């Protein structure tokens, strides 16, 4: 079998992503990593999400906040009764 020499992608990614698309994602990812520690820059989106995906992420965040609050309330209850 011939080795793939034109990039660093794994065989899994190679089989599922065109070279040009991978390069575009990799470029955005490198920009994202470069700006990771700078709080003054606008976050770089590596992937362009569809509105439905953004809506689902927002719902996940809301549910996570609610579950975290419930967990904290349960811990406070347990502490108050002496566990």
Whether 2 has a pLDDT exceeding 80, the answer reads: no
Instruction: Report pLDDT for 83.
Output: 65
Domain segments of the chain as ranges: 1-47, 49-83
Tell me, what DSSP letter sits at residue 45? P
Q: What is the pTM of this model?
A: 0.49
* pLDDT tens digits, one per residue of 9-41: 565 565 677 778 888 888 888 888 888 888 888
Is the C-alpha dihedral spanning 14, 18, 22, 25 positive or negative? negative
Per-residue burial over 30-43, b = 16 or more CB atoms within 10 Å of its CB, e = otherwise = eeeeeeeeeeeeee
């Amino acid at each position: 079998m011939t080795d793939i020499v034109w990039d660093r992608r794994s065989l899994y990614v190679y089989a599922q992503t065109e070279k040009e698309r991978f390069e575009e994602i990799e470029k955005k990812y490198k920009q994202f990593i470069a700006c990771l520690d700078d709080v003054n820059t606008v976050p770089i989106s590596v992937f362009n999400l569809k509105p439905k995906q953004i809506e689902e992420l927002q719902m996940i965040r809301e549910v996570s906040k609610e579950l975290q609050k419930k967990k904290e309330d349960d811990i406070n209850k347990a502490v108050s009764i002496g566990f």
